[in-house]
Amino acid sequence: MIIGPAFLEVAVLLTGIFLLIYESFANDREKNFVAGMGIAGLSVVFVASFFVVQSNSVYGAGWLQFYTADSFAIFFKRIALLTTIVVLITSIEYRDVVRRFIFGVHSDAGIGEFYALPVFTCAGLMWMASAVDFVMIFVSLELVTISFYILVAYMRRNANSLEAGVKYLVLGALSTGFFVYGVTWIFGLTGCTNLAQAADAMRHLAPGGETPLLFGFMLILVGLGFKIAAVPFQFWVPDVYQGAPTPITAFLSVGSKAAGNLAAMPQNNLKRLLAYSSIAHAGYLLIAIASLDGAGSASAVAFYLAGYLLMTLLSFIIIVVVANATGGDDIANFNGLSKRSPGLAFAMLVAMLSLAGLPLTVGFFGKFFVFAAAIQQGHYVLAVIGIITVAAGFYYYLKVVRAMYWLDATGETAIPLSRLTRVTVIALTVLIFVFGVYPAPILSTLTPPETETSLAGDR
């Protein structure tokens, strides 16, 4: 069965609309069923993504002028789908926390919407992956951002969540202004918003036309820098990540993607630590982007993001489970976890070691490919800075390991896990090792054989 490329986004959008309608008529006991239907619907779309007709055209007519579906676009759509599925699973575990901080006519008021909104965020991320026009990029970005505005401040009776929502709203609106103003400059100079057409028009600019063009690109980069939390536009990240509901923090960390590592060293709150960590990982991705020279280095970006998806989602789903049992998400709440729940402690150990870039984990190959691309392009300074920050990362990631394995336990009883959460934790842990030993399955979906050989041949 062959599926048209735009089917995926339409199916996700219809899934979100159906969930909202169903939630309106569901009783309290059926709220988790909303999340279950969302997980099932997104899983079907994920499977369908392997039957999509790929299209590399960026000069199409009509809506194809805004949209492409090459192998990289479909790959990032799959990342968005898998991220949203895990976020919904984590949200089920986080349900009791949300209930305490929202107000409604019954105890589960607002829970269904909390499960449905990430689906719309997923649709925006998928459209963004295929966008080849500034208008399409803007619309997709705003769908994602508006959903996050609501989700970050969702626990409206929690002062930290409200503060995080206000900060994210103000800085998000500011960054959108920079982006739109930059697009306006480029449209004024080239007369078009399609990326490929604008690139052609730039080659025929009159002498002196480069300066206003560079100014427009600078405005766009500032706007996007806020969105992905790249230095020096990262200052909103720690407060927003700490105040937002933990599943949404995980979504922000993966969906939105350096100097973050050094600032993370003194952090004692695990969500803030991972917030600074996400700034550093955005920096690693930007090193790879700065070294782009073709499919090989583009695959390095995609592989790094895929690996970051696995280890970050695993970290946050464990944070939710432990916080539910201990009442907090500070590193101290993980003290002695290996004695209470050895399986959870091992999974968190794997996630931390992968984030640090230890060999035999997906994080090692991700960093290796990024630094290899930088060195091949002669960006030695970037590579050295990246390696130094990796060394700094070992310090604060191992703080979590020390708490779990060397400090006294905060409780005696094992931390309970639902069957769905247990399966998810096991799957993410196994995949971190599988792709850390054998990265070819990811690389082969993105690159021709000769490029894949150059990337993975030395492993």
Q: How many CB atoms lie under 10 A from the CB of residue 10?
A: 12
| The predicted structure's pLDDT at residue 459 | 41
Q: Please state the length of the chain.
A: 459
pLDDT in tens, 30-55: 677 888 999 999 999 999 988 877 76
pTM of the model: 0.82
Confidence category of residue 62, pLDDT binned at 50, 70, 90: low
Confidence category of residue 122, pLDDT binned at 50, 70, 90: very high
370 Cβ neighbours under 8 A, 6+ residues apart? 284, 285, 287, 288, 291, 300, 301, 304, 386
193 Cβ neighbours under 8 A, 6+ residues apart? 133, 134, 135, 183, 186, 187
Which has the minimum average pLDDT: 302-306, 428-432, 452-456? Answer: 452-456
Mean pLDDT confidence for 361-378: 84
| The predicted structure's pLDDT at residue 38 | 92
Mean pLDDT rounded to a whole number for the chain: 79
Distance separating alpha carbons of residues 10 and 138, to the nearest angstrom: 18
Residue 452 pLDDT > 70 = no
Phi, psi for residue 269 in degrees, rounded to 5: -90, 125
| Contact of 375 with 323, CB cutoff 8 Å | no
Residue 347: exposed, middle, or buried by beta-carbon count in 10 A (0-12, 13-18, 19+)? buried
pLDDT in tens, 416-430: 888 889 999 999 999
SS3 378: coil
Domain ranges of the chain: 258-459
Which has the minimum average pLDDT: 120-129, 133-142, 191-200? Answer: 191-200
pLDDT in tens, 207-264: 666 777 778 888 888 888 777 766 666 667 777 877 888 888 877 776 655 336 444 4
Q: How many CA atoms lie within 13 A of 172 on its CB side?
A: 22
Distances (CA, A) of 92 to 72, 112, 369: 31, 10, 35
Residue 2: exposed, middle, or buried by beta-carbon count in 10 A (0-12, 13-18, 19+)? exposed
Confidence category of residue 448, pLDDT binned at 50, 70, 90: very low
Residue 299 pLDDT > 90 = no
pLDDT in tens, 132-142: 888 888 888 88
Sign of CA dihedral 128, 291, 277, 234: negative
| The predicted structure's pLDDT at residue 255 | 62
Tokens of 135: 């208008």
3-state helix, strand, coil in the chain (%, to 5): 75, 0, 20
| The predicted structure's pLDDT at residue 195 | 78
**What percent of the chain lies above the pLDDT cut of 90?**
14
| The predicted structure's pLDDT at residue 29 | 63
| Contact of 241 with 249, CB cutoff 8 Å | yes
